[in-house]
Structures are given as structure tokens and as C-alpha cells.
Chain A
Amino acid sequence: MPRSRIRCAIGPRTETDAAHSRWEHFEHGADVGVRGFGATKAAAFEQAALALTAVTTDPAAVQPRERVALACEAPDDELLLAEWLNAIVYEMSTRKMLFSRYAVHIQDGRLSAEAWGEPVDPVRHQPAVEVKGATYTGLRVAPQDAGWVAQTVVDV
């Protein structure tokens, strides 16, 4: 199966980040790969989260009106990425919300974050599919090109 990349850049937090911050989807048969790039690990996690939102809807269509605090932890960076994405999936599922802005802080394997979004509006958001959870397929968190990449495949 041909593998293509779907590129998009959205929401860099600072001008320093702007050089690095972007997200893309990568193809995976029945499911979808989410990949974030950032100047820091935390920025790459934020971008991966935007890629997650984009599986369901266009992040630009989601207004960052309500703030939700999230936290998770894991024994290593890669499991932490999966936990982070799963924490968002959980909030999307239980609050029936979509998020378009994320701020992540990572220290000693612990992640704390804030996500901004709004309740799902089927007409305006045209949400295509709900994400069931993050898998460990294609899971990678590593320094790359003077920044960081954070990616995995999510089950839809």
C-alpha cells in the first residue's frame, strides 16, 4: 500500500516553535497515523494532539471556548505519548467535546496539560469518526531535525 503524508501546520505557540511546529497524518490501512513535530518534546505532543483532533474534524472549525485540565504518566516517553492521546480521547468521549488548542508540560515522565475546545456540534463540525484509542503501532518519540517528533497510529 502506498504511504503518503498529509501535511498541515497549525497553532505554533511562539515564533521559536514556528520553525518546528506542525502535524501530519500518516497512512495505516484501516486506521490513521498521527504525527507531531515541535521544537520541544512537549510541543511535538501538542501537535500530535492536533493531528488527533483532525482525525475527527478540521481543528480550525473548533472554537477554543472551554478549558479542560489533563494529566497522565508513564514509564517512558513513548508510552507517555499513548497515554496523552488516550487522555484526550477519554475527555472527548465523556465530555462530548472536541479540542483545538493544547498546552503541554512534561517533567520526569509526568505530563500535565490544558486543552481548549467546545462541545461537538454535528452540523458545524461534521465529525467523521471517533477515535477509540492510541495503539503502539508506529509509536515513536525521538529528537529529530533539531526538534522532536511524536507519533503513533490511533484506532478508529
Chain B
Amino acid sequence: MEPDLFEKRSDYEWVIPRRGAMRVPAVIFATEALVRDMDQKVYEQAVNVATLPGIVKASYAMPDAHWGYGFPIGGVAAFDPDEGGVVSAGGVGFDISCGVRCLHTGLARADIEPVQAALAHELSRAIPAGVGSTGEIRLGEKEMDAMLAGGAAWAVQRGWGEPADLERIEERGQMQHAKPACVSAKAKKRQRDEMGTLGSGNHYLEVQEVTDVYDAPIAAAYGLAQGDIVLMIHCGSRGLGHQIGSEFLKRMAVSAAQRGIALPDRELACAPIRSEVGEEYLGAMRAAINCALANRQILTHLVREVFRRMLPRARLPLLYDVSHNTCKVEQHRVDGSRHELYVHRKGATRAFGPGHPDIPAAFRDAGQPVLIGGSMGTGSYVLAGTRESEALAFSSACHGAGRAMSRHQALKTWQGRRVVDELAARGILVKSPSLRGVAEEAPGAYKDVAAVVDAADAAGLARKVARVEPLVCIKG
């Protein structure tokens, strides 16, 4: 996009003033280079979101924003139910509560190197990944509902993890007000054998080394030091979340037309927060958040089992678990008073600043950990929420690198086997059931995650704390 389409508020904040049907302005946080690189569709979609009923302050896009459906990926928008605000299935995304979890290991590179190949092999055997894979857990009707209401807390009760894990997960591992009864039988069937599976596409599990520390005090509060080995898991609510997203997109499209909600495009399908469809979506979406939290918890358990066998000295407590496709009810200060808002983050991470009561006590003074996944073969980052982020974008930050190239283009450019071999030569072991999948996910198909993270840091959305690089990557 051309930067002169915007009013430049600072080097990192680009504003589309309110005009036409827009109820609020749209704001993109990025460097000029990132803005130039963004698809024109981000502009259109950010403007479209600004026209929706009950939107508060502005329609925001994070530095990694790209063309989504309805809302841009990297989009943040808050709605006030007292002002006729809406909830949108497309504003959350199909992979509800897709997110990133980071585990400590207490190990250093020297501990991993002698067993790196065996560890990669054992992890790839233990973690079901890829199209058509299934987990070993089968949930009956009652257990399915218990999982959808209980999230990671349910998983811990069933023995997949420790109670201490829950403190280190958003919502303490259990999204409140989930309504399993609002989740269709089809969505539940789709999840029947998918608990504890990684999925495919850009989802991964990585063993990583901390290569850089940018903010020593916050890193210390998080328990991170240069040379530490950590483990990151990126995945979401699997088939259940996808089915809920698809079903409610249709229900919202039909009901919006019936209610006379004027939408610039059907892909913006939404429903008033205070409506039957809106309330049912929120109940189902929260159940899907619990499904994602339970799924990452079960995967954590599978990883710990592998480490227990291979590296018995290792302990794998959670650093933190963030979700980046959600709609959450949060208190935010707007024009001097506090409001209860429904904050949509689609490909954006919640980033509460220091002192926020929802941050675990152990690092409340440091701000919430914000986990940013890179592509395989490049770095991922740990950031911290800032105080100023609340005024900037309802305490939100970026979520990843974003694709620079389509899957088709990537497939034409790289061969999966070569990507695996080149990464192995750099000391990164990739395990995937699909070489085509590896080619489509080649590191070069993604934007430079460092540029995205630097922009988020410079804009004040979140503070850069540490960088990690993979040693082992399990892909779907």
C-alpha cells in the first residue's frame, strides 16, 4: 500500500480518518516499509470493520496484518453492547483460540545436542500431526461437554498436566461462560478423535534455544536466559473450532440480512452481542477456546512424557499460553471512563501491561508474556505487554510473521526435501509427514518476523524481551 493513503500520526501509526459509512477511524501500526508491503485489502478490510455497529475508538491492524476474510488477519476491534455492538465469527477466525504455548525445560543446548535426532524422532512419534491424524483420546458425550466447559483445567483434572500449569494460561486455563449446548453435534463429532493433535499448515511444535535477550529484567522475571532451551507449541481448537466458525458465519450472514444490518460485504457477517445468535456464538466460541486450551494441555503432557523418557533431568513448567483468535470481554478505559467491551483479536495477541490483575503474580510487574511464532527455520520471539498498549489498541500486539507468498508460489519455489536438508545443515531438524507441506511452509514464504516484532516494540504495543531459534521442528 502507498503510505500517502494514510494520515501519519507517528513513524509507527498510520490513520485512515473516518469517512463515509465508517463509525470510527482505522489505525494501522507498522513501519513505512511494512505498510508498503501490506496488501491493499488490509486497508479495505480495516475500513469495512470500522463501519460495524457499536465499534469503539477505532478499527486496528497490527504490524503483521494481512488480507483475511471479513476482518484482516492482525485485526483488533472492540464493540460496546450498550451501543448496539456486534460479535463476528469472521472477526475471530475459524481456528478459534489458535495460540502459542511456551514451556521451560531447564536444559541447555549441550544437553540437547547429543540426543537431538532421537528427540526429534520421538517427538514426531508422540505428537499426532498432519492431515488425517488422530489422537488416542476418545471423548464420549459427557466428557466432551466437560472438556468444553473445563478447558485446560479439565485436562489437568484428568491427569494431563499439573495444577500449577493453569496459573500460566490466559483465563487460568478455563474460559468462563462457555456453553457446550451451543456447540453442534457436527462440531463435537469433528473433535471426537482430534484431542491432542497438532493439526497442519502453519501449526508446529518446536524445541528452541534462547539466542538473544533484549530486556534482562523482564527475561529474568519470565525465567529466560540466553542459551536456555524452551519448547513452543502453536495450534488451536482443531475441527471443533473450524466447524463452529463455519456454522456461525452462515447463521450470522442469514440473520444480519433478516435484521437489516447493512454490511459492506457478506464476509463481515455479524450479530448483535445481545441477540440469540450473538449469545449462542459467544457460548460456542468460548467452548472452542476451552477446546484449544485442553488441546495444548494434552500436547504438553505428550511432550513431557517424551522428555521424561529421554531427558529425565528436564522439568517442563509453563512459561505462558496465549491465544490469538478470540473475542473476549474486557474492561477498557475509553474517553476517561471504563467500559465493558467485546474485544475481537483475529491474528492478534492480548498484551496486558504491568500490574494487570489477570497476569500471574510471578511476573505481574513485568507485563503479560506475548509469544510470537516465526516460521520454521527463523526465530520466534517473547515480548511483554506494555502500559501504553491499552490506549493504543486495547492491549493488543502482533501474532506472527504472516505469509509473504502464496502456498502455490511456495510450492513452485521450493522442494520439501531440499528445505528439510538445508535446515538440517543449519542444525534445525524438521519432521513432517508431508514434504509438500514443508515446501508450502518454507521459511522464505513468510515475511521477516523480526521486522514485525521491531515495529510492535517501537510502536509501544509490546516490549521485545527475547528471541529463540528452533533446534527441532515438528510440522503437520
Contacts and interface: CB of A to CB of B under 8 A. Distances in A.
Interface of A: 1, 4, 6, 25, 27-32, 55-57, 74-75, 78-79, 82-83, 86, 89-90, 93-94, 96, 119-120, 122-123, 125-130, 132-137, 139, 153, 155-156
Contacts of B189: 94
A90 B250 contact: no
B440 A128 contact: yes
Interface in B3-41: 39, 41
B94 A133 contact: yes
Interface stretch (B156-164, B220-228, B241-249, B419-427): B241-249
B69 interface: yes
Contacts of B94: 132-133, 135, 155
B403 A29 contact: yes
B408 A31 contact: no
18 contacts: A28-B406, A29-B39, A32-B407, A57-B131, A79-B253, A94-B189, A120-B132, A123-B433, A126-B436, A128-B436, A129-B200, A130-B131, A132-B95, A132-B242, A135-B249, A136-B90, A137-B68, A155-B95
Contacts of A29: 39, 41, 66-68, 73, 402-403, 406
A143 B356 CA distance: 56
Given A29-B41, A127-B130, A127-B437, A94 B190 contact: yes
Interface in B391-446: 402-403, 406-409, 411, 433-437, 439-440
A119 B132 contact: yes
Interface of B: 39, 41, 66-70, 73, 90, 93-95, 130-134, 186, 189-190, 192, 199-201, 239, 242-243, 245-246, 249-250, 253-254, 265-267, 269, 402-403, 406-409, 411, 433-437, 439-440, 476
A75 B254 contact: yes
B201 A56 contact: no
Contacts of A31: 69
B200 A130 contact: yes
Given A30-B402, A93-B190, A93-B239, A137 B267 contact: yes
A139 B434 CA distance: 30
Contacts of B269: 136
A155 B476 CA distance: 16
Contacts of A120: 131-132
B243 A90 contact: yes
Contact of A137 (B39, B69, B190): B69
A127 B407 CA distance: 13
Contacts of B132: 96, 119-120, 122, 127
Given A74-B250, A120-B131, A30 B403 contact: yes
A133 to B, nearest CB: 4
Given A29-B403, A120-B131, A1 B242 contact: no
Contacts of B402: 29-30
Nearest to B266: A136
B406 A27 contact: yes
B130 A82 contact: no
Given A122-B433, A128-B434, A130-B199, 12 more contacts: A4-B409, A29-B39, A30-B73, A90-B186, A90-B243, A122-B132, A126-B437, A128-B200, A132-B246, A133-B94, A135-B249, A153-B69
Contacts of B200: 127-130
B201 A133 contact: no
A134 B94 CA distance: 9
A155 B246 CA distance: 10
A4 B413 CA distance: 15
A101 B476 CA distance: 26
Contacts of A153: 69
A31 to B, nearest CB: 7
B73 to A, nearest CB: 6
A137 B67 CA distance: 10
Contact of A128 (B73, B242, B407, B409): B407
Counting chain B CB atoms within 10 Å of each CB, which of A29, A90, A123 scores highest?
A29
A129 B437 contact: yes
